[in-house]
Structure 1
Amino acid sequence: MGKKSESAFVRLPVSARLVVPVMAAVGGSGRSTVAHLLATAMAPLAETVVADLSPRLGSPWPSWTADTLAGGGLAALPPDRPLSRADIRGAAALRQSTADSHWSVLTDAREWHAAPLELPADPSAWYQLAAAGGWQLLLADTAHPVAHDVLTARCSGLPGLTRAWCALPFAVPVLCAQPTAAGIQALQQAVLVLHAEGLPLQRTVVVFSAASDGRMPAVARAAATMLSSRTAAVVHLPHDADIRAHGLAAAAQPTRIRDRTQQAARELAAAVLTAAHEDFGEPLPAAPQAAAAAPIPVPAMPFDEETQR
């Protein structure tokens, strides 16, 4: 890690907030694994929460958090009543990062036969939920295919999820791909689409999640060279046989994750923080705060001597 990356590892100011949507062009790109490892690396630097946006039966997070979820998950946060910070925090699962730091997960951990929750699609709703919960860093494990979403939005004249995530205050997107011929093709196509739409590639971090041991294929190395001039950084996440075999359940943390995997996670965290500092300033500016509600004028009641008696 270079000097600039090392300087990025300072705790976020209390007033700062950072949004990291973890996205991909296709499924199987390692989004959830990247979100988990990034949360573990960044938790000592900021109050961190991962929002699981995948359908419950297609998400690994309910099984990863089964041993640490005590508050009911997203089902305990009904949208039709006010929620306190304690309510929101209590609904999250806790994961350990270091001996003295942890991070949170908001996921739907009910039984498989429960009716699906109607979760909000608008990224600003998740931003507000994280802010109300007092978290500084929101990591969104998204489920939509990036390039398809951008093209659909263009054809329909709507903003789309990808643009909405990138437009949130202090957002640093992370774009995941497998370093295979098919994965690189999907990634390069997505990058071209993002570039054509003017989305913030200059603060986007690309992650190659290897599915096997050994050196990255030549096609992936060539793509990394090309992308390094278009994006904020390109990070290689090596294959970890234990994660592939056992997932990232609580029992696998943190002792069973290889040192090189943890080092790659720290490099990814440094790349995200460096991109944020270069685009938004160092230290990060204070996050926007909701304006105080204006007092409601109450008309003066006419004075009535009989009533006063």
Structure 2
Amino acid sequence: MVLDTAPRLASPWPSWPSQKGAGLAALPPDQPFTRVQAHAAVSGFSGPGGPWSVLTDHQDWHQGQLALPSDPAAWYQLAAGGGWQIVVADTAYPIAHEIVTSRASGRTGLTAAWCSQPFAVPVLCALATGPGVAALQTAVKAASAEGLPLQRAIVVLTAPGEGRIPPSVRAAATMLQSLVSAVVNVPFDPHIRNHGLAETHRLGRRTVEAGANVVAAVLTAAHQSWGQPLPPAAAPAALPADSSVTPDLLARPVSERVLTT
């Protein structure tokens, strides 16, 4: 399951699914929902290894932007309420800037909140270029200063074109190996550059292998941190079947609201 946390007009996900579900608009963050409703909201498309599912906003552009919650706990409740075993949260904010800004204002930042969710493994992606790894190194420094769990973080370096990886990128990857759980290189794939994930069956063999390596690295980091097999994750409390949404419930923060399962 993929959670698309980006605003509609800033996200590529809405154009990729071949089967559209009800979408995020069908799951208002201020109301309980059932597991059946969560699954009905999912959009699907075929990917390597089988069908993929994504919760995204695929309304027409002129319908305006959804008021998506920023609190990671709300997204965790959505994932737990749906009962999915593996969830990828695709965030769309500048991590280093967000960490420094929240640190300067003395508040808990979004990155720290995402990392605090049960069994969360951070995946940091960057272009395999000099400027790309320089930005990545700044983000890693900021995360380290904030005490974020780099020991279970995965770094993914994506090649922007054909050819060998520049020496500066190889040197940066070597330095990062001792700071994070794993560094994975993803080769250049002209199909992704031209079509994104619209036709995943046309991805290159090396691209699919790199994706499998990322998944394996995430699972290894999770098992090293919490054991194997992973213990059950915390689930939000369910509302009684005959309960209704009360003003008291709507007055609570999204992260404290309970879901009907």
The TM-score normalised by the length of structure 1 is 0.75
**Cα distance, 1:253 vs structure 2:** 2.2
Does the 8 A contact of 1:72 with 1:110 survive in 2? no
Residue 262 of structure 1: aligned partner:
208
Distance across 1 between alignment mates of 2:238 and 2:213: 39
The letter for the 2-side match of 1:281 is G
List per-residue Cα deviations over 1:253-294 (Å, max 9, x = no partner): 22x110010011111111110011011111111112345789
Distance across 2 between alignment mates of 1:114 and 1:129: 23
List per-residue Cα deviations over 1:218-270 (Å, max 9, x = no partner): 11100010000110000000000111112211xx122x110010011111111
Q: Does 1:243 find its partner at 2:195?
A: no
List per-residue Cα deviations over 1:76-95 (Å, max 9, x = no partner): 11234321111111011012
**Cα distance, 1:102 vs structure 2:** 2.4
Residue 87 of structure 2: aligned partner:
138
Distance across 1 between alignment mates of 2:64 and 2:236: 34
Residue 210 of structure 1: aligned partner:
159
What's the secondary structure of 1:271's corresponding residue?
helix
Residue 275 of structure 1: aligned partner:
221
Does the 8 A contact of 1:74 with 1:108 survive in 2? yes
Q: Does 1:78 find its partner at 2:28?
A: yes
Q: 2:200 aligns with which of 236, 239, 253?
A: 253
Q: Does 1:53 find its partner at 2:5?
A: yes
Distance across 1 between alignment mates of 2:210 and 2:231: 27
Q: Which runs of 5+ in 2 are unaligned?
A: 241-261
Residue 87 of structure 1: aligned partner:
37
Distance 1:83 1:223, change over 3 A: same
Distance across 2 between alignment mates of 1:168 and 1:97: 27
Q: Does 1:63 find its partner at 2:15?
A: yes
Distance across 2 between alignment mates of 1:153 and 1:52: 23
Distance across 2 between alignment mates of 1:81 and 1:147: 33
Distance across 1 between alignment mates of 2:174 and 2:144: 17
Does the 8 A contact of 2:48 with 2:208 survive in 1? no
Residue 302 of structure 1: aligned partner:
none
Does the 8 A contact of 1:61 with 1:107 survive in 2? yes
Distance across 2 between alignment mates of 1:281 and 1:68: 36
Does the 8 A contact of 1:150 with 1:193 survive in 2? yes
**Max Rg structure:** 1
Does the 8 A contact of 1:64 with 1:248 survive in 2? yes
The letter for the 1-side match of 2:34 is S
Residue 46 of structure 2: aligned partner:
96
Mapping of 1:108-119 within 5 angstroms? 108-119=57-68
Runs of 4+ in 1 over 3 A off after TM superposition: 289-294
Mapping of 1:111-130 within 5 angstroms? 111-130=60-79
Distance across 1 between alignment mates of 2:56 and 2:222: 26
Matched length: 240
